[in-house]
Structure 1
Amino acid sequence: MSRPRYAWLLAALWFGLSGLPLHARSPAQRACAPLQGFEVTRQAQVTVFGDMHGTVQSPAVFAQAACLFAQRLGGERGVIGLELPESFNAYFDEVGVQPVETVWARAGSDAFWDEFRDGRHSAAMWQLVHRLIALSARSGGSLRIVALARQPIDVDGAALLVDSMKSSGASRALVLIGNAHARMTRMPGQESEPFARHVANAGLSVISLNAQAGGGKAWWCAPGCAVHPFYASPEKGGVKIVLLPDGDRQPWHGYYYVPEMTLSHPVKTMALPEHVRLDMPGAPSV
């Protein structure tokens, strides 16, 4: 089967299962499914979600947060940052100028998705980009998407986010980036302070969130590009955001939790990933 037909099928699953048609409502009017704990992100100008590459859940939770973020903006300007090659900004700059499906046809067929490296090349991430393009288009220009993978991303990617916020007059940003970059403190092997710390050093208030789950698996490149078990830290309840009481002294201020991380295969395989539905109304299942 050709890529266009697979693209249609995957997009239909992503949007259809959420029960929320792309054209139905504006961000301010559209009913976003609740995300427990999301209100705590009001405390910061920039909320950084640590992406667990190669999972269904990290992009799905971020999509949920992005819907709520757009709703909260209420017409004010905001930025959504993604760990994608800077070249994607040529596509994102066409949002609001070209139809959604024209922008997506270009972004969704970029050679980036043919690569097989870390989980940024996953089907779940691919579908997230489609959903965010549509969300940005519905915002009437108030919500801008920015690809942040200018290297070195911790330094130059952070500067790109800050500059993008200034140039667009955005007061707030929501970012999905690898959880090592989402840290507030450097870990062994990092050549500089992490992305989130550089954003904070630029004078913006930041909340950084790590990924946490009751178990499962993911696809990343440490030490090798392969499927890896996800460290289990089970908790009661379902999907939620939690700020730690001593978060200012931790690598991340808190975490977003899902009961299980499940694998999202690379787009290159054109295979649907294993999946479970997140236990919140309207959550996308891939």
Structure 2
Amino acid sequence: MMRKTVVMLGLGIALTAWSPGHAAQASPSLVATPCQVPPGWDQVDAKVVVFGEMHGTREAPAFVGNLACALAARGERVLVAVEHDVINDDDFQKAWAMPEGSFVAALAKTGWAERNDGVGSEAMLAMLVGLHRWAQMGRKIDIAAFNGSKDEAQARRFAQLPGQGPHDAAQAENIRVAAARQPYDHILVLTGNTHARKRPVTYTRIAFEPMAMRLARSVPVIALNMKSSGGTSWTCELKPGVVPKPNVPITDADVECAAHPLGKDADLDRAPFIALGSLPGQQPDPDYDGIFWLGPVTASPPAVPAQSPKRNP
């Protein structure tokens, strides 16, 4: 049996089953247990910390949620930024201001059914529900959705950038705007690990500057790459036997969104932690400042399953 990651206990969250028909009526069961700052956090000396995850695990959102909870328990003000569409951020803020009984229903209507790629997972929703409860109890925790362009003016401003550059430039600007709303002690950004890089992304057809690299030009940023001992994650991948063809678009019928194997980065029998540099015995990755270790990981399916997969950059 796979060892459960310790940080999952930090928020004490168990979600009921979700479906498009009853997601808005479902209510999570929450059991409050103490949150703890993970070992290694004392090495982090930047206000903005970008956690680059492989989307679709239960453990990555739980890790960030546990950390936000622990920091807020110290009396610090924390912003948690998630890779949901910025055009839904106003609705996120309205939901955040609602009482606990109304929060899940309101939040589940804000684009979750369009995300079948791990970003709109049960674990992501569980993280937000747990943090909302802490905020309702008086802890200084806020959330923000930062993905994509907020309007046509922003899209035009970055349109000249190559490749995926416009998308990541908008992400960085949206985080800066959200971070300026309050005098935050910490901004915790949970995003795909491509966006979390601090050097140009060159493995794509057209090289571009990722979000964390652009964000670091205006504020000190620590970028951490997710590491695990393997398991599964919920991802949208080409079905077995499907071979992409030049100039032929990939369709929904070519893609399977499901729990897929995730390879291990190391064999460490350790509870989750943060380390600047690299895992023991490995070379540092120059694209990141360090790592956050999760141990074994398990796939987290969509909180509100989509009728068809939507893949996002």
Hey, what's the Cα distance between the residues in 1 that align with 2:237 and 2:216? 27
Q: In the aligned structure 2, how far is the partner of 1:247 from the partner of 1:125?
A: 31
1:200 equivalent to 2:236? Answer: no
Aligned equivalent of 2:26: 7
Q: Which runs of 4+ in 1 moved over 4 A?
A: 222-225, 245-249
* Alpha-carbon distance between aligned partners in 2 of 1:124 and 1:241, rounded to the nearest angstrom: 20
TM-score calculated relative to the size of structure 1: 0.76
Distance 2:283 2:104 in 1: 38
Corresponding position: 1:229 with 2:261: yes
CA, structure 1 residues 262+249, in 2 after alignment: closer, same or farther (shift >3 Å)? closer
Distance 1:186 1:102, change over 3 A: same
CA–CA separation in structure 2 for the residues paired with 1:148 and 1:171: 19
CA distance in 2, matches of 1:269, 1:78: 30
Question: For the residues of structure 2 that align with 1:96 and 1:118, how far apart are their CA atoms?
Answer: 24
Gapped runs of 5+ residues in structure 1?
A: 21-30, 271-286
Q: Is the 8 A contact 1:184 1:196 kept in 2?
A: yes
Structure 2: runs of 5+ lacking an equivalent: 1-18, 150-165, 239-254, 307-313
- Between the aligned residues of both structures, percent identity stands at 26
Superposition deviation, residue 5 in structure 1: 8.4
Counterpart AA for 2:211 = F
Deviation at residue 131 of structure 1 after TM alignment: 1.8
Q: Name 2:190's counterpart in structure 1.
A: 176
How far, CA to CA, are the matches of 1:69 and 1:240 in structure 2? 15
| Deviations 1:115-165, CA, capped at 9 Å, x for gaps | 35311122111222222222333346x432111113344111111111222
Aligned length: 248
Counterpart position of 2:82: 82
* Partners of 2:36 and 2:67 within 8 A in 1: no
CA distance in 2 between counterparts of 1:191 and 1:104 reads 39
The one of 68, 71, 76 aligned to 1:66 = 68
Matches within 5 A, 1:1-286: 3=22, 7-8=26-27, 11-12=28-29, 15-16=30-31, 19-20=32-33, 31-41=34-44, 43-72=45-74, 74-75=75-76, 77-94=77-94, 97-110=97-110, 112-115=111-114, 117-139=116-138, 142-151=140-149, 152-187=166-201, 188-189=203-204, 191-202=207-218, 204-221=219-236, 224-226=255-257, 227-233=259-265, 234-244=267-277, 250-269=286-305
Deviation at 1:45, TM superposition (A): 1.1
TM-score, scaled relative to structure 2: 0.70
More helix by share: 1
Q: Deviations over 1:225-274 (max 9, x none)?
A: 5443212122232211111179987111111112211111122459xxxx
* 8 Å Cα contact 1:123-1:267 kept in structure 2: yes
Instruction: Please tell me whether Structure 1 or Structure 2 has the larger radius of gyration of its CA atoms.
Output: 2
What letter is aligned with 2:120? H
Q: Is the 8 A contact 2:56 2:235 kept in 1?
A: yes
- 1:78 Cα shift? 3.4
CA displacement, residues 61-114 of structure 1 (integer Å, 9 cap, x when unaligned)? 111111123234x25x4321111111332233236743233233210233x222
The separation in 2 between residues aligned to 1:267 and 1:95, in whole angstroms, is 16
